[in-house]
Structure 1
Amino acid sequence: MDILGYPASSVLSEMMFSAAGGFVKYTNSSSSVCDLKIKAVDEEFGFHQEGDFIIGGVFTIRAGTTNLKGTNSYMKEFYSADDDIRALLNVLVFRFAIHQVNQNTEMLPNITLGYHITDSYLDASVAVRNVLQILSGPQKAIPNYSCSREGKLVGFIGDHFSVTTIPMAQILGVYGYTQISYGATDYALTDRMLYPRVFRTVQNDHVHFLAVTQLLKHFGWTWVGIFTTNDDAGDKERDILTKYMSSYVICVEYTILFGVDTINDEMFDKTYETTAAIVKKSTSKVIVVPVSRCSRPCLPGTRKKFGSSIHKCCYECVTCPEGEISNTSDSENCIRCPDEEWPNKKKDQCFPKLVEFLSYTDDAISAVLSAVSILFCLLAGLILGIFVHYQDTPIVKANNRNLSYLLLVSIMLSFLCVFLFLGHPVDVTCMLRVTSFGVIFSVAVSSLLAKSIMVCIAFKVTKPGSSWRKWMGVKLSNSIMSVCSLIQVLICVTWLSISPPFQDRDIYTYQEKIIIQCNEGSVIGFYSVLAYMGLLAAVSFIIAFLARTLPDSFNEAKYITFSMLVFCSVWIAMIPAYLSTKGKDTVAVQIFAIMASSAGLLGCIFFPKCYIILFRPDLNTKTDLLISRAK
């Protein structure tokens, strides 16, 4: 194979000879191993080729420097290791590229590129001297003079390391030459004000520091030590790396500095012992599986609490507050669960809240209330059947039996409306709940009010020449019942038209559950229904109380008075209980009030009459009623 027009073996031999500054022994044997023995000398390394335009090249070829113990002299050595072969290959690639450009007539027609290559020895002073040598020409280095008669110098390639690239850039910046480095990573070279003509084919050190920091964060290493050189570059690298780690909440426990100026066996042993002692005493670890941190990891369900240490990567673990979770380790903040969810006991997951309402299947009280409602409804139906069967008897005919039938039907419906309060509330049942029992009770209480008024009118009619006689009859009682009931109907219609009740989800009263309930919509509408019903009951109670001693057929006013007393007592007691309970307990209070007041009306008004009809038929005669009236 040929390289640059020459046999590959001769090119490599030439480069190795020049690099060594002396003789190279190349042994070609049947063995596959190539043994290179290169003598260390003090001669300069260099390649030079004339051209129309010259490109300077400063490469690190011989980089080994050791201090002779006890002296101030240095000996440069070149080792035949793989890394050094790669350094020579950089030079070979540079020459090959120049050769390819010169061979291509289309790239730079009628122009030939030349080069001047030197070795920096990884030494800043040598690199500067070589730059001045290239600027002056191939003979002798004379600052500010160019002794080259052929070709124009246009730029520089190199060096591989920042320690030599930066001083080169400082010299070349003064002369205005462009410089391209293929390995320098110092972040300072990104300053376009100081180094406007320096370009690189690699990333700067900050990218490496960021990669190291992200690697530490990935493994959870937040408590680490730093090893660096005891010079300006080491201090700068430590500061930059510490800054990046600080942004990821990674703290530095210690920093160990290594000198690079003079290193011998004695100093190395001393440094090693000091370093080993620091590492053994430290709490940060550098082994796999490494746990390198100053605080224990915060498990899911907890979060970090800072402030207990001067280092921000040291913290305490505290449990997430109520309603919040953390589902990852080492969380700095807890996450609040959505409104309709609640944390589990470990506080690492959010689960849907329990939904609560007065259910038919899950609540025993619902079964009890349903059974009692059906029982009393059947009892009211049975009494209605008895009254229909004995409709022609005096006790049933007394004081408008049609109002008695209407009152019994109203009581039956009031027991049945209990089922509107049970089960999962929806908008329709919410609108029917209060309006239904409000209208039904208004009809019932209006019927009792009409009965009480008729008792008073009946007593007035018994006086000779009374003007009340024209008010006697069923028309007045029916009119009173109808008008009073219609007013309640109008109140309910207005309420439903303006702001009707609707299904509501209460997510704030209880943290761990959602209450499905009916929202009244308009509080004024709700309490207007109750207030009007209470007004009817109060008026009925007063009139019945005043008429309780009047002679009447079976003296029904006494029982109306007592029934209204029970009715008012139940609903007055219901108001504070209703306001002090929440959720399904509130619904249970409403159902109890409806059932208790309905049962009070049924028992106080109709049980005495049924007793006479079924067990004392001798009292259910017109003669007995007249005797009672006469008394």
Structure 2
Amino acid sequence: MQRLLLLLLLLLPIVCKVNTMQCPAGDPIPVPHEWYQPGDLLIGGIVSQIFYHSSEIKFKEDPSQELLEVPHIVTKFYQHALALVFVIKDINDDQKILPNATLGFHIHDSYYDARMTYRTTLDLLFKSHRFVPNYICDTQKNLIAVIGGLTSGISINMADILTLYKVPQLTYGSFAAEEIQALQSFSFYSMVPNESHQYIGIIRLLQYFGWTWVGLFVVDDNTGEHFLKTLEPLFSKHGICSAFTKRIPEQVSMENVDEILNKIERIYVSLTDKKARTLICYGESLTIAWLRIVNLFHDHGHKENASFGKVWVMTSQIDFTSTGPQRNWDFQLFQGALSFTIQSRELLDFSEFLQSIKPSRTQADGFLKGFWEQAFDCLFPDPEMPMMDDDTCTGEERLESLPVGIFEMHMTGHSYSVYNAAYALAHALHTFYSSQSKHRPRVDGSSIELQSLQPWQVDLFLQNVAFNNSAGVMVSFNDKGELSGGYDIMNLVTFHNNSFQRVKVGRVDPSAEEDFTINEDLIVWHKTFNQVLPLSVCNEHCHTGHHKKKKEEKKFCCYDCAPCPEGKISDQKDREDCFQCPADQYSNRNRDACIPQIRNFLSYKEPLGISLASVAVFLSFITAVVLGIFIKHKDTPIVKANNRDLTYTLLLCLLFCFLSSLLFLGQPCIVTCFLRQPIFVIIFSLAVSCILAKTITVVTAFMATRPGSSVRKWVGKRLAIFIVLTCSLIQASICTMWLATSAPFPDLDFHSVSGEIIVQCNEGSVTMFYCVLGYMGLLAITSFVVAFLARKLPDSFNEAKFITFSMLAFCSVWASFLPTYLNTRGKDMVAVEVFCILASSAGLLGCIFAPKCYIIVLRPELNSREQLIRRKH
């Protein structure tokens, strides 16, 4: 029950109807309030929400009369009416603008009611009190334009009538682009820049501060739905998500208390969301009143609530107002809020004008008495009602003493729009009169008959109006009838005396050189943030070296952070994906930077390269020594046996085989890549051909000793030369074809080894490479088979035995080469090939020539003809 009574008290300023309580019979619309000033030309004004319906509960003896409706005043909006009074006075005092005419005005309130809006609009067109549509009678009115209203709903209702009579309408509230298009006509003008500029500003603001997880509070009407429909696609496009969307009722009824309590509870739960620290609020001043009610409903004593440390982003239609019971509430909930406001300039004369407002000095103002009583919480003396001394209005109260939430002495953005609207009309009239005076004769000393001026004539000049107002700001309309310009971004700084101050911290203006500016150093955040930039994200940022990984069934702003794969990095926070390092670089251990890759090749300067080069040189030297021994003892029987020339050729081939391995060391270049494989395989093929020729020579020599053998004619050097040349030329032909079609070339391998660039020789045609190796293997296997078959021939110096062992070693080395070669990368691959060249060559050298050198050097007694022809028994 206590909560219900509290709710009833809080909702008094915004309730239109209470359960079981009905408005009195008859017309429920209050008696129209009006501010009237006569003039030759009349500007009408409808000010939205100075008054609006509320309910004051009174218990009467007559149960049939349970409720008396009284108007409740939003005192802050009274400045809009005063702005029109001020600007009309300013224009009339300036004889240069309208020297032969004066402007008057009629100001009405819309009461936030459609029927009242239609009624006052018709009243502006025809009569003051009793009106007859389509007839001008009683008080003559020369209406030229209407300024109003503050909300889109009121403006649309006004436009329904004014468009029919071609009366220009200048509205001073913010409108959605969709609503502006619906109102497009030759007589409708907006004194506020297009609302879409605010959408751009909101997106840029959220992006600037990195707020990607935001809550939305929107008024529950068509404008709120349009706001959501427009903003949410922009969110998705720019990587922003809405944490929740709460609709604030435009008006409420006490017929369903449980529903109201549920709405308050849901809004409160959203306010306590610790992740969504940025809240976007779109609506009107009643939206702010709702949020303040929700806050107080759960915090009766106005205690500090750290969970309400939020960054509010407000649209321009919202103003921070205090009405009724809320006049004594502070604005601490909205401390640090960032609001988009209509760009305005301070006018010193306007502040002086406001200070001069007194009930005793102002005539024909139907609003002033109610405003004064509401603003100062007092009553003017009434003989029929007893009053306390403290409740009496003296009329000498000062407006500047009021808190900003009740009345503001600085010109607000909407009042500034009213000011510009009146001056736009005045300049349009000035242009109209100037053009007419050149073509029409004077009538009784007057250049124009004022009563003949029609509103549609003014509209023709209003479309092209452009002028500098008293603040030096250019005022003009674009082709859509909207005021050019943008919005200021204001920071709300609150104080404990229920007041606040707006500080300009940025702006959004597509027509400016910099369409968006923000000065973060000037912003005062909510005190719970300790002046540290607040975060509003679904989860913590992904650090460098990680990227976003979407969570299933969650909005894209909620994600996990996954480390970048090898070879990719992320050098910024919250990267959507990691990016590949350049080809000559690789990712570091933290995956947050690319570092140059090390060039990998078998160098002479490293231990492995030095070792292989040393072995090659040493074996070359040993081969040269063996060749020298054989040359020195060329006339000995063991050297002459089995073709001395083949022996020299084989030793020279082995010497070059050892030296050819040096081509594989060092950084590959065009020459080395082009030569090393062909030279290696040709020399090796020549060596194996010599071995094959030696083996066949042994076999044919033995077979020739048999009586009547036909092989005898093949014995001699010709067979050996034929075998060597034929086998070598076949390999040379294959190599020539390889070099002619797809020769080896230097290449860089960026991907095989992480962190290294393999500098290698690309074999060009892999098929040709394996063809030359295959042919060399074929020669080796043939030599091995022939030598194996001839190993038991009866000869003391039968080389077939040694050749068998040498070719066994040779084939074993190269058989193990292929799988090892294919499974290594970089310099290891080159080392394997060099090792195979050295090992196989050393095998040939050792198996074939070591026994002979042993006999020649250490056992010369065995190097004789007798020993050579000796048979084994």
Q: TM-score scaled by structure 2?
A: 0.58
Residue aligning to 2:168? 178
SS of residue in 2 equivalent to 1:577: helix
Residue aligning to 1:329? 573
Contact persistence 1:165–1:184 (CA under 8 A): no
TM-superposed CA distance for 1:210, in Å, is 3.6
Distance in 2, matches of 1:451 and 1:267, equals 109
Distance in 1, matches of 2:127 and 2:104, equals 9
Q: Are 2:760 and 1:517 aligned?
A: yes
Contact persistence 1:439–1:489 (CA under 8 A): yes
Contact persistence 1:134–1:141 (CA under 8 A): no
Q: 2:159 aligns with which of 152, 166, 169?
A: 169
The structure with the larger Rg is 1
Contact persistence 1:227–1:258 (CA under 8 A): no
User: Mean alpha-carbon deviation: is it higher for 232-241 or for 526-535?
Assistant: 232-241
User: Mean alpha-carbon deviation: is it higher for 220-229 or for 351-360?
Assistant: 220-229
Q: 2:563 aligns with which of 319, 324, 329?
A: 319
TM-superposed CA distance for 1:270, in Å, is 5.4
Cα distance change on mapping 1:473 and 1:68 into 2, 3 Å = closer
In the TM superposition, what whole-angstrom CA distance separates every residue of 1:433-462 from its partner, at most 9, and x where no partner exists? 321111001111111122222223333444
User: Mean alpha-carbon deviation: is it higher for 596-605 or for 183-192?
Assistant: 183-192
TM-superposed CA distance for 1:96, in Å, is 7.3
Distance in 1, matches of 2:611 and 2:102, equals 107
Residue aligning to 1:285? 310
Cα distance change on mapping 1:82 and 1:488 into 2, 3 Å = same
Contact persistence 1:341–1:350 (CA under 8 A): yes
Q: 2:135 aligns with which of 122, 129, 145?
A: 145
Q: Are 2:241 and 1:250 aligned?
A: yes
Cα distance change on mapping 1:342 and 1:164 into 2, 3 Å = same
Cα distance change on mapping 1:421 and 1:148 into 2, 3 Å = farther
Residue aligning to 1:212? 202
Q: Are 2:103 and 1:118 aligned?
A: no
Structure 2: 5+ residue runs without aligned partners?
A: 1-30, 58-67, 254-285, 312-525
In the TM superposition, what whole-angstrom CA distance separates every residue of 1:517-550 from its partner, at most 9, and x where no partner exists? 3332223211221222122222222333333333
Residue aligning to 1:625? 868
Residue aligning to 1:16? none
Distance in 2, matches of 1:46 and 1:587, equals 102
Residue aligning to 1:191? 181
Contact persistence 2:176–2:194 (CA under 8 A): yes
Q: Are 2:818 and 1:575 aligned?
A: yes
Q: Which has the higher helix share?
A: 1
After superposition, residues 608-619 of structure 1 pair within 5 angstroms as 608-619=851-862
Residue aligning to 2:541? 297
Distance in 2, matches of 1:321 and 1:178, equals 65
Distance in 1, matches of 2:537 and 2:75, equals 43
TM-superposed CA distance for 1:492, in Å, is 0.5
TM-superposed CA distance for 1:285, in Å, is 3.4
After superposition, residues 29-44 of structure 1 pair within 5 angstroms as 44=34
Q: 1:487 aligns with which of 718, 724, 730?
A: 730
Q: 1:607 aligns with which of 850, 856, 860?
A: 850
Q: 2:739 aligns with which of 463, 481, 496?
A: 496
The amino acid of 1:320's aligned partner reads: C
In the TM superposition, what whole-angstrom CA distance separates every residue of 1:466-496 from its partner, at most 9, and x where no partner exists? 5555444434322321222111111100111
Residue aligning to 2:69? 72
Cα distance change on mapping 1:43 and 1:406 into 2, 3 Å = closer
TM-superposed CA distance for 1:75, in Å, is 6.3
Q: 1:526 aligns with which of 769, 788, 792?
A: 769
Cα distance change on mapping 1:336 and 1:94 into 2, 3 Å = farther
Q: TM-score scaled by structure 1?
A: 0.78
Q: Are 2:287 and 1:274 aligned?
A: no
Higher relative contact order (CA 8 A, sep 6+): 2
Distance in 1, matches of 2:780 and 2:225, equals 93
User: Mean alpha-carbon deviation: is it higher for 390-399 or for 550-559?
Assistant: 550-559
Contact persistence 2:52–2:112 (CA under 8 A): no
In the TM superposition, what whole-angstrom CA distance separates every residue of 1:348-370 from its partner, at most 9, and x where no partner exists? 223344443333334x3222212
After superposition, residues 332-371 of structure 1 pair within 5 angstroms as 332-362=576-606, 364-371=607-614
Residue aligning to 1:595? 838
In the TM superposition, what whole-angstrom CA distance separates every residue of 1:92-140 from its partner, at most 9, and x where no partner exists? 566579x65556xxxxxxxx87755222446456654443234226896
In the TM superposition, what whole-angstrom CA distance separates every residue of 1:242-278 from its partner, at most 9, and x where no partner exists? 6655654232457484877999xx9998544126589
Residue aligning to 1:476? 719
Distance in 1, matches of 2:617 and 2:713, equals 43
Residue aligning to 2:663? 420
Contact persistence 1:58–1:130 (CA under 8 A): no
TM-superposed CA distance for 1:554, in Å, is 2.6
Cα distance change on mapping 1:230 and 1:282 into 2, 3 Å = farther
The amino acid of 1:189's aligned partner reads: E
SS of residue in 2 equivalent to 1:548: coil
Q: 1:584 aligns with which of 803, 819, 827?
A: 827
The amino acid of 2:653's aligned partner reads: S
Cα distance change on mapping 1:312 and 1:462 into 2, 3 Å = closer
Cα distance change on mapping 1:416 and 1:159 into 2, 3 Å = same
Over the aligned positions, Cα root-mean-square deviation in angstroms equals 4.1
Distance in 2, matches of 1:612 and 1:80, equals 124
The amino acid of 2:864's aligned partner reads: T
Residue aligning to 1:403? 646
Aligned residues: 575
SS of residue in 2 equivalent to 1:174: coil
Cα distance change on mapping 1:96 and 1:235 into 2, 3 Å = farther
Give the share of equivalent positions with the same residue, in percent: 39
Q: 1:132 aligns with which of 122, 144, 152?
A: 122
User: Mean alpha-carbon deviation: is it higher for 176-185 or for 563-572?
Assistant: 176-185
Distance in 2, matches of 1:412 and 1:259, equals 101
The amino acid of 2:579's aligned partner reads: I
The amino acid of 2:559's aligned partner reads: Y
TM-superposed CA distance for 1:340, in Å, is 4.8
